[in-house]
Structure 1
Amino acid sequence: MVELTFDLPAGPLVSKDLAPTTIRQRTWNLWHIASLWVGMSVCIPTYMLASSMISAGLSWRQSVLAVVLGNLIVLVPMMITAHAGTRYGIPFPVFARAAFGTRGAHLPSLLRAVVACGWFGIQTWIGGLAMNAFIGILWPGWQTMGGDLKFMGYGVPEYLSFLLFWFINLYFVWAGTESIKWLETLSAPILILLGIWLLLWAASRVGGVGTLLREADALESARESLPTGEFVRTLFIPWLTAMVGYWATLSLNIPDFTRYARSQRDQAIGQALGLMTTMPLFAFVGVAVTSATVILYGQAIWNPVDLLARLTAESGNA
């Protein structure tokens, strides 16, 4: 690991955020890196990921396999790119200068930022819907705010929840990387336990994991059986490519995080442990719990927010 031993001269290419981290600042151990990936992987889009593949014609086994292979493929360039961040303590915009030059590096940095804005918007909207459901449980009157006023199919509570969740995200952006480290380390075990609890809940309600898996097979869309070659070419490969694309952009700017790693071992094993376990597990949890909803409610409820609302309504009527 390399540490800068002199102060950088002032200029347009240098700022506090772009300066290499010192050895003292590189405090993220294996668990911190793994927790980062747990926090990014255990989310509603991951939960609903397999549903898209099953709707397209893949079985649940093929869907989970696509998740595993896609993550394994993208993990390779991610570890290679992360190496520079850990070794030199530099973020992605600085690392990009090696290939694009000091001026040309602005282009990949801006393109990455545009994609990040889109993904941030998607995640924030989904998080806002989850927060809306949560607030509605604690305060039933919340859902009646604004009356029948709607815009694009959503009412005042949904948009207020979106803004609230947005402001919470902005706090952690403002507080910096150490706040993300603290949040992910705290939330990782909770998220894992919640995923396991969901799986156990689903199994207990329908009579075991075997029943869940049989129903999961039934979720597969009815379609004519395709020859193996055509299936791989028209279904599996496109979805595998989509899975690679799921984290492809982060494989570019992963040095933004690994510049704080204590060692190459911590960043490499931490990434492999966090990504290759939680992503497939949570995708499977989504399939299993959805299979339970088919048995319990006669319909597939893929969105956990909708499932939460259904369970809340049941408990309120009990």
Structure 2
Amino acid sequence: MKTQTVSNGIVTLTKEGEETIKNSPLYNEGLRPTRTAEHTWTSYNFASLWIGMSICLPTYAMAAGLISLGMNWWQAILTIILGNCIVLIPILLNSHAGTKFGIPYPVFARLWFGSKGAHIPAVARGLIGAGWFGINCWFGGAAIDTLLMSMTGWANIPGHLWISFFGFWLINVWVAYRGPEAIKKMEAWAAPVLIIMSLALLVWALTKAGGWGPMLSAPSKFTSTADFLKVFFPALTGAIAFWATMALNIPDFCRYAKSQKAQVIGQSSSLPTTMGFFSFIGVAVASATVVIYGEALWDPAAVLAKFSPFAIFLGTIGIILATLTTNVAANIVAPARAVENLAPRRLSYEAGAIIAGVVSLLMQPWYILENFGNYIFLWLGTYGALLGPIDGIAIADYWLVRKRRIHLTELYKTNGIYTYKTGFNGRAIWAMLIGIAIPFISKYIPGLTIIWDNAWTVGLLISLVIYTWMMKNDGSVLSASDYEKITANNKQTIAS
């Protein structure tokens, strides 16, 4: 029986296919494959998604962190652009699966970890997303607090910083609760607004500082190439890890893409360019404040606080918008889906969004952001070491093991081919553990710390190779003829 059909490179369930799984405990409206009418996201939607996510306070802070660690402006910007070009590769590879088969990340993970084992990568991604959610709320809340103090007697209110933080946290949870379609609409109009506001800030800095020269003249603090590389490699891993989370759960968004071309063009044209552009603005504005105010102001809210009340008001709106567009898209969808996947028949995406918001508070973002060392090395570096191996397994499974052939209905069966023997694919678990362990052990061996400094990349490659080797001739892999038996081909189908 044909349970799925392919048209223009996109596979959807047939009516018969959907009937066979709609009563499964692993199926609900949020986790099912998307239908043809739901594939509406264009290149602009994906570009606006990444512009909205990249223009945020953590991007600004990352550039500032690299400068504080000794880099000059062009070393910091190139490190960030290179890291984003590298992470774009797994993003596009995993996007293909989401676009072609219309499945969200937790369901995609069932393919390689098993129907029960999928909770391991889904919860891992979800916890990190919740951590990022808290970080962005803290950034945004602290910025709003700074701006309110500059305009009113807000500083006299006891606990004013915490009031700002929790108030902003509530706004983020409320917007996230409304779901992915609301996020798409918000990103579409917010992206051009954020670009205009960012350019306005850059023009102000350029004008006040008297040109590029005074702004970007600070030299690198490194006296040798060896000294530079000691910071460069962990900083590069941090830049990669910044979006390593999205490299995993990008199917949550690409499942709505109109075509592979739409998602590839939209994402490739916007991610590295926007990250580089906004990082440059952060460096340029902070450098300009040395000329203008005699000190480097790395906090954009501290810069805005020196403006007129009307400019502060506009800046506050910009910071709220920049943080919201990042937070609700990049950091809440994945944990909400992970929670939903724990019990599809009892938990919804909306419940998942609220639970993820509460977990973000338990992860204490104020500690992570206590200093740039915590932010870049402890937070970004450590979770990069965890997610790299999972990225490697996802890529290996879809591209090298299964060769882009998936039996959709089997993903929703408790005794299907992707259940493996016990609901867990032990080979994926071993490949992940080895990919995490080797970089971690290397951290404590003299002469091998460079492996830890590049933990995301090394872990990805190790797990990719091990998983591909271990999954040879696995019974869950469909042959070309097996795939043809279950897939009806529409006459308009093109290569996928």
Q: What is the CA-CA distance between 1:137 and the residue it aligns to?
A: 5.6
Distance (Å, rounded) in 1 between the aligned partners of 2:100 and 2:227: 43
CA contact under 8 A between 1:133 and 1:308: conserved in structure 2?
no
User: Helix, strand or coil: the match of 1:191?
Assistant: helix
Of all paired residues, the percent bearing the same amino acid is 44
Which residue identity does 1:189 align to in structure 2? Answer: P
For residue 18 of structure 1, what is the aligned residue in structure 2? Answer: 31
Q: What are the equivalent positions in structure 2 for 1:120-269 lying under 5 Å apart?
A: 120-136=133-149, 140-146=152-158, 156-214=159-217, 217-218=218-219, 220-221=220-221, 223=222, 225-226=223-224, 228=225, 230-231=226-227, 233-269=229-265
> Quick check: 196-205 or 123-132, which moved more?
123-132
Q: What is the CA-CA distance between 1:10 and the residue it aligns to?
A: 1.1
* Structure number, greater radius of gyration: 2
For residue 13 of structure 2, what is the aligned residue in structure 1? Answer: 4
Q: What is the CA-CA distance between 1:210 and the residue it aligns to?
A: 2.9
Structure with more contact order per residue of length (Cα contacts < 8 Å, sep ≥ 6) = 1
For residue 57 of structure 1, what is the aligned residue in structure 2? Answer: 70
CA contact under 8 A between 1:137 and 1:312: conserved in structure 2?
no
Q: What is the CA-CA distance between 1:232 and the residue it aligns to?
A: 5.3
- After superposition, the CA RMSD in angstroms is 1.9
Q: What is the CA-CA distance between 1:134 and the residue it aligns to?
A: 4.3
1:119 aligns with 2:122: no
Distance (Å, rounded) in 1 between the aligned partners of 2:231 and 2:61: 18
Q: What is the CA-CA distance between 1:17 and the residue it aligns to?
A: 1.0
Which residue identity does 1:19 align to in structure 2? Answer: R
Deviation track 1:122-154 (CA, whole Å, cap 9, x = no partner) reads 00111112233444466x1333222xxxxxxxx
For residue 85 of structure 1, what is the aligned residue in structure 2? Answer: 98
Deviation track 1:63-118 (CA, whole Å, cap 9, x = no partner) reads 11111110000000110001111111100000011100101001111111111111
User: Helix, strand or coil: the match of 2:248?
Assistant: helix
User: Helix, strand or coil: the match of 2:30?
Assistant: coil
CA contact under 8 A between 2:55 and 2:274: conserved in structure 1?
yes
> Quick check: 32-41 or 204-213, which moved more?
204-213
User: Helix, strand or coil: the match of 1:33?
Assistant: helix
> Quick check: 8-17 or 115-124, which moved more?
8-17
Gaps of 5+ in 2: 1-9, 313-496
Distance (Å, rounded) in 1 between the aligned partners of 2:176 and 2:202: 32
Size of the aligned set, in residue pairs, is 299
Quick one: structure 1 residues 160 and 11, their matched pair in 2 at CA, closer, same or farther if it must change by over 3 Å?
same
Q: What is the CA-CA distance between 1:13 and the residue it aligns to?
A: 0.8
Distance (Å, rounded) in 1 between the aligned partners of 2:263 and 2:210: 41
Q: What is the CA-CA distance between 1:249 and the residue it aligns to?
A: 1.5
Quick one: structure 1 residues 232 and 292, their matched pair in 2 at CA, closer, same or farther if it must change by over 3 Å?
closer
Q: What is the CA-CA distance between 1:290 and the residue it aligns to?
A: 0.7
CA contact under 8 A between 2:63 and 2:76: conserved in structure 1?
yes
CA contact under 8 A between 2:22 and 2:28: conserved in structure 1?
no
Distance (Å, rounded) in 2 between the aligned partners of 1:136 and 1:260: 42
Distance (Å, rounded) in 2 between the aligned partners of 1:97 and 1:25: 22
Distance (Å, rounded) in 2 between the aligned partners of 1:290 and 1:274: 24
Which residue identity does 2:280 align to in structure 1? Answer: F
